[in-house]
Structure 1
């Protein structure tokens, strides 16, 4: 899984969550809601400065964005791009792209 945080999304996280270098954000699947790739589950995030068993991670401006190994089930087979466009929404957006890693 490839996890991409655009420059605009990185700035959004820094401003909205008060993040700075050394901080972290964990993405995970939660019950209820929908995504383009899951019915009954939605994507959630939380501040987490101490990744443990990492499935995927990337760093942007000193902030670590990651998915724990326990949430592999939600992301397996997809790459995730997190973006922000203030003209479309006041929140980040998520784009899932199949990566062929279903097995």
Structure 2
């Protein structure tokens, strides 16, 4: 499982969440909402320090991560985070990990 963050998405997080070098962005499971990979659950995002990060991606000193307890949600999929001009925010897509 991997996290892929586009440069545009990274810039959005940096600006909108006031992120600086050394900060952490957590992707986590939320009850409710919709997702193409888990019925009744959706992806949440927060500025948190990791406890048991199992997947990380560092871009310009900002660490994007997923905790061990949230790994089940991804069901063997990689997370792709991009930026949408239309939505003026991040978009999330999932692709089956071939590993």
Distance 2:73 2:43 in 1: 9
2:24 is aligned to: 24
Distance 2:64 2:75 in 1: 17
2:34 is aligned to: 34
Query: 1:33-63, CA deviations, whole angstroms, 9 ceiling, x for partnerless residues?
Result: 1111111001001001x21211211001110
2:5 is aligned to: 5
Distance 2:30 2:8 in 1: 25
TM-score where L is the length of structure 1? 0.90
CA deviation after TM superposition for structure 1 residue 20, in Å: 0.7
SS of residue matched to 1:83: strand
Gapped regions of structure 2 (runs ≥ 5) = none
SS of residue matched to 1:8: helix
SS of residue matched to 2:37: coil
Distance 1:28 1:75 in 2: 10
CA deviation after TM superposition for structure 1 residue 90, in Å: 1.3
Distance 2:58 2:68 in 1: 17
Name the Cα RMSD after superposition: 1.1
Alignment length (residue pairs): 99
SS of residue matched to 1:42: strand
